[in-house]
């Protein structure tokens, strides 16, 4: 069985970063690690993309998401493309969070 080729973005440095994140034992530890690792602007950008993904997953239109979040339609489109055809990370996180929360009426 042949192994799939590695994605060019998945460098050994990124793998090491993922391992460091995985080693965090609580949300508090992860928050502290991310704050030391990232600037406030970088964290806000990540949180903003996550918010866009959540609204898209709820079925909001691109325009609605842009209005609710203040994101550009380019950002909304980019997040939507990764949500649909990315590595599956958004989907995995969204599905896991939906299992933890009571479903809200849409």
- Position 5 scores a pLDDT of 62
- Position 8 scores a pLDDT of 83
For residue 54, give every residue at least 6 positions away whose Cβ sits within 8 Å of its Cβ, in sequence order, or none: 94
- Position 80 scores a pLDDT of 98
* CATH level 2 (architecture), domain 12-100: Orthogonal Bundle (1.10)
- Position 3 scores a pLDDT of 63
**What would the pLDDT profile of 18-76 be if each residue is shown by its tens digit?**
999 999 999 999 999 999 999 999 999 999 999 999 999 999 999 999 999 999 999 99
Q: Residue 8: what are its φ and ψ, rounded to 5°?
A: -65, -25
What are the structural domain ranges in the chain?
12-100
- How far is residue 83's CA from residue 46's CA, in Å, rounded to a whole number? 14
What pTM did the predictor assign?
Answer: 0.82
Assign 78 to helix, strand or coil: helix
- Position 100 scores a pLDDT of 77
């Amino acid at each position: 069985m042949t192994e799939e080729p590695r994605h060019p973005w998945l460098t050994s440095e990124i793998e090491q970063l993922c391992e460091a994140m995985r080693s965090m034992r609580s949300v508090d530890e992860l928050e502290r690690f991310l704050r030391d690792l990232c600037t406030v602007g970088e964290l806000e950008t990540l949180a903003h993309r996550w918010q866009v993904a959540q609204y898209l997953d709820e079925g909001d239109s691109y325009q609605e998401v842009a209005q609710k979040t203040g994101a550009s339609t380019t950002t909304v489109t980019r997040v939507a493309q990764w949500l649909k055809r990315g590595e599956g990370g958004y989907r995995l996180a969204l599905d896991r969070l939906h299992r933890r929360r009571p479903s809200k009426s849409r």
